Copies of this chain bind each other. A is one copy, B any other.
Amino acid sequence: MPDKRFFRKSGTYSAADLAERVGGELLNCPDPELVIEDIASIEEATASDICFVENRRYVGALSSSAAAICILPRNIADRAPDGLALIVSDRPRRAFAKIATLFYPEDRPSTGISPTAAIDDAAMLGKDCSVGPGAVISAGAKLGDGVRVEANAIVGENVEVGAGTVVGENASLSHCLIGARVVIYPGARIGTRGFGFEVDEAGVIKMPQLGRAIIEDDVEIGANSCIDRGSGPDTVIGRGTMIDNLVQIGHNVQVGKGCIICGQAGIAGSAKIGNYVVLAGQVGVAGHIELGDGVQVAAQSGVTSTTAPGEKIGGAPAVPIRDFRRQVAAIKSLGRRNKDLEN
């Protein structure tokens, strides 16, 4: 049961209503109007809670649970104890996620404009925006309807932020256009100057960085992550892409739609990432290369060359994942052979 200090419950729901909302079949439930009060894990559930189990491994927990109702796959429905109502679902985790979000919706009502926010006279705010204490909305900035700018966050000059987007605490935006329903976590930096220098015998000169950062609709950008603006072309993050914490994205990078970029990954300047690409944690992608649609990269890998769509790769430098596994096995056996020689 979520801590009510931090999560606001929307209400209660009937068993039948919940089953219908997730497209599941209600079983063992004599009273479809049974009132469900809250969500819980199978171990912690009490007599008015809904929980879920994903597979056979949790059958034991099922039999000792005090829950009112449980979401589970059909192939273990017959293992449930008498008296436990069931919602049969092909994807119990997904169904539970939907129900949890129903009980604890993420949308918060507008909290209005804080008297300590600094909003320039030449900024434009849509309806029902929330602007927290100390937040700054600069001249020419445009916020769509329902935008939330949290405490001490900064929306720079002429930046546009689409409807329903959240700009987290202490985050800062400049030289960028942000889509609708984007979630920018605390401390993220978007539109900063790219790291571009020309180095030769005449010394270092800074290359101008005259592009923008374009963040499309439904993107998430994790806490303290950084997305530099382009140097001339734009840096672009495609619709629905999810970026975790402490990720670095260099200037001119193009990331496609629906990608998942895990914590502490980094993408160097001018790389082009396709749609639905997955970069696991701490991955590095070299500059100026392309990763095709659906490429998946194992954690900590270093991708140094253009990779065809659908490839699964790993290692540093990254190779097809099966080759990487062979390399790891070969190195292990080499290490073992050296050990034998020592003995």
Contacts and interface: CB of A to CB of B under 8 A. Distances in A.
A151 interface: yes
Interface residues of A, number: 107
Nearest to A7: B210
Question: How many chain copies does the complex carry?
Answer: 3
Interface stretch (A10-18, A26-34, A55-63, A129-137): A129-137
B195 A6 contact: no
B170 A41 contact: no
B327 A334 contact: yes
Contact of A331 (B104, B202, B248, B331): B331
B154 A151 contact: yes
Interface in A315-330: 316-317, 319, 322-324, 326-330
A39 to B, nearest CB: 8
B268 A248 contact: no
Interface in A153-168: 154, 156-158, 168
B299 A326 contact: no
A308 interface: no
A338 B332 contact: no
Contacts of A268: 262-263, 281, 299
A143 to B, nearest CB: 15
Interface in A242-283: 242, 244-246, 248, 250, 258, 260, 262-264, 266, 268, 281-282
A339 B320 CA distance: 12
B197 A193 contact: no
A255 to B, nearest CB: 15
A64 interface: no
Nearest to A91: B200
A330 B244 CA distance: 35
A93 B200 CA distance: 11
Contact of A134 (B136, B157, B198, B210): B136
A222 interface: yes
Interface string A189-227: 100110101111010111110111000000000111010
Contact of A223 (B197, B226, B264): B226
Interface string A116-150: 10100000000000001110100010000000001
Given A134-B152, A246-B246, 6 more contacts: A197-B242, A264-B264, A266-B282, A323-B335, A324-B335, A326-B342
CB-CB nearest 4 A-B residue pairs: A118-B133, A5-B158, A2-B210, A327-B335
